Amino acid sequence: MADIIYIRENDQAVPVPIISPKVQRLRELFRGRFAYEEAERLINHHQGDLQATVNFVLTADLPTIRNISRSDDEGWQIVRNNRAWRELAQQGQLTHEERQYACGPCDNVWWRKVPARKRVSKCKRCNVRYDAIPRHREWGWAEFACNNINCGHVFRGFGQMENTWSPCFRCRTPCLPVKIFPRKKRSDIERTQRRARDDHSCFSHNCFRRATGPQLGGICVHPKSLRRGERAVFPSHSHNSTGSTIDTFLTQDDLFSRMSDFGPDVSDIDEDDGDDSN
């Protein structure tokens, strides 16, 4: 059982459990198949040695594990029987993804590294928890690939998956993004190497530098084209917890550290074609 401390809230003492990082880690490595108390018993049995506990669960006979953990559920065997998960557990590794989130009411957009099995993040402005934006609806700094068989040029710029049509910088063929990158600042070297002709342009009706041609796609997602209150182009759905998964153990501060090099404002970033040789 987790230790309890008390904090004062609204002039009342409120109990708050102290969660052990090692117990958290063991539960994540075994995909939440152990209850907290069961994982704690296993860790304590090995004097707090997490790696020894992992090796024990992966190799010991089932009756011994059941006896120590006092578990009636053997769902953790799925990790033992899955080669990839077993190797990750032995290496003490967790699978994570960097995903995009957007809070509509706060008009707040962010990227967060989250466990692949629970893609949930909390808006720091309103504390509402959200599901990740589907990959085919992500937007931001994008990579485009020209599908003209006589060109095939690859370039980068602002866009949204399945929405933004930008003209190829070489042959002017309309192109859709093939992937979206988490927003990051480019180095000063990249800034000096970009060419003026590679400024953003797309066929969306609201583009601040609209390309000549028919209107294609929805709205332009370049920061210069989006007005205040429009940054959350595709708002995330609020997370409906079913209780089928354990809490996301990485804290928001831990994950936010991955964004330390992200620029607070990218409105002055133009396009680049990924070709620094010219």
Mean pLDDT value across residues 1-21: 53
Decide: helix, strand or coil at residue 9: strand
pLDDT in tens, 92-108: 655 678 899 999 999 99
Task: Give the domain range for residue 101.
Answer: 95-240
Mean pLDDT value across residues 34-44: 87
249 CB-contact burial (10 Å; exposed 0-12 / middle 13-18 / buried 19+): middle
**Domain shared by 62 and 166, yes or no:** no
- The more confidently predicted of residues 211 and 5 is 211
**Domain shared by 167 and 200, yes or no:** yes
* Residue 6 within any structural domain of the chain: no
pLDDT in tens, 166-177: 999 899 999 999
- Predicted structure pTM score: 0.58
**Domain shared by 233 and 112, yes or no:** yes
**Domain shared by 122 and 175, yes or no:** yes
**Domain shared by 42 and 115, yes or no:** no
- Within the chain, residue ranges assigned H as helices are 21-29, 36-45, 50-59, 62-69, 77-81, 83-90, 188-193, 252-256
**Domain shared by 148 and 200, yes or no:** yes
**Domain shared by 234 and 100, yes or no:** yes
pLDDT in tens, 178-200: 999 986 654 433 453 454 345 78
**Domain shared by 87 and 99, yes or no:** no
- The more confidently predicted of residues 248 and 54 is 54
* Residue 170 within any structural domain of the chain: yes
Residue with the two structure tokens 């809490």: 247
**Domain shared by 124 and 182, yes or no:** yes
* Number of separate domains in the chain: 2
- Within 127-267, residue ranges assigned H as helices are 188-193, 252-256
